[in-house]
Amino acid sequence: FPIAASVLCNDFYMDDVLSGANTLEAAKTLQHQFIDILKTAQMSLHNWCGNTSELIATTENEYDFSSTDELKTLGIAWKARTDCFTFKVKVEQNAHPTKRSVLSIIARLFDPLGLLGPVITKAKIFMQQLWLFKIDWSESFLRKKLVNGKSL
């Protein structure tokens, strides 16, 4: 089980496996090896999802895996049909945003894979500007004229 062993060592996160393959044949090989390696440990595969119906069809007879629109692992949602990761952050529309509310939003951005790096960096730069302009934690900064007439 050379491919499955590599996946077990490198792509296992708690009780989830998040892996992939470049071709359908490689994915099928990985799938069969993974099922077999789990059987040797008297374990069974409980969930399986893929973005190709042909890959799901190979397990439908043995396993009852319903195709879901969205799976979550590592706090990230993966839409299998479109093969996209999605991130959801609730941002309350605040008429008077404060430094505290900005920091709260930044802290909720969970991104273990680093996919949101550019977005998080922009948010942190904005937070630095609030510090540079000496905005208080509870002070609203919306439409506030700051140093030399610059606005945020």
For each successive 10 residues of the chain (152 residues), what is the average pLDDT?
86 79 89 88 78 70 58 81 85 85 91 90 93 90 62 55
Residue 94 sits at φ, ψ, to 5 deg, of -110, 125
Predicted TM-score (pTM) of this structure: 0.64
Residues 8 and 80 in one domain: yes
pLDDT, residue 66, reads 53
The 10 Å Cβ neighbour count of residue 67 is 12
pLDDT of residue 151: 56
| Cα 114 to Cα 120: distance, rounded to the nearest angstrom | 9
77 shares its domain with 13: yes
The whole-number pLDDT of residue 150 equals 57
> What pLDDT shows up at residue 113?
84
Residues 75 and 111 in one domain: no
Residue 22 sits in the same domain as residue 79: yes
Q: Which two tokens stand for residue 11?
A: 């792509």
Tokens of 101: 């509310």
Q: Are residues 100 and 78 in the same domain?
A: no
Note down the domain range covering 59. 2-86
User: What confidence score (pLDDT) does residue 83 get?
Assistant: 84
